[in-house]
A and B are shown apart, each in its own frame.
Chain A
């Protein structure tokens, strides 16, 4: 198995999503609050996994713009759950050593006095191993 194919399989496995169920209706992209920030749009994630173009996917800035707000998951008429695919791709990145999107060093300057604990732990979990 090529490494791309392996990675595509890995994404399907981690996410538990069958991208072939997608009918390309675009409801996910229509629901996404981060749509404009994304280079690869939510509905396109499915195609990247099907086409096994994982390289582009893991390099996409979309991974870090997804809010895990589950609007796409809630509304998807085909039970595809693009949000889960995105998170799986994110996991592939952060599970590789040193690929953390959030570095400990950069945290202090991101802080402000009102910032809740929750924000930090959430960001940590999504962005880091």
Chain B
């Protein structure tokens, strides 16, 4: 994954910055376009580093604290690098009523991290969502972009083990 490979490069030389700069230009450096720029930046880099936020603030001529305030207000933005894979357990009402809590407990136990954390090897981020809008599949979860449900604690763990055991090149 490129985001780990490029970490030592200074931001100004990072090729991914071009994507952000292009978005800035397309949006005519409008301060009001901050959230869209942050979306693009996160898509390009996987997360929003302080340097990246400082760059966006400078380009949009916004106070740094305001940019930081916006970036931390929304749960979609993350200021820390995410794992290669992500597993999101839906904890919406329908899923909750049908046992999402037990699934999450079991997954946390199996992977050894808590929801919101990433494994030490950077392989997997485990998260929860406040309803992914697939209530008829309750209790459901997503692994990367795939949607699974209804799940049991054991079937959920099986899904992760399947993913984690396969080396990235073969996927």
Bound together: no
Which chain B residues have a beta carbon within 8 Å of chain A's beta carbons?
A: none
Residue numbers of A with Cβ under 8 A of B are none
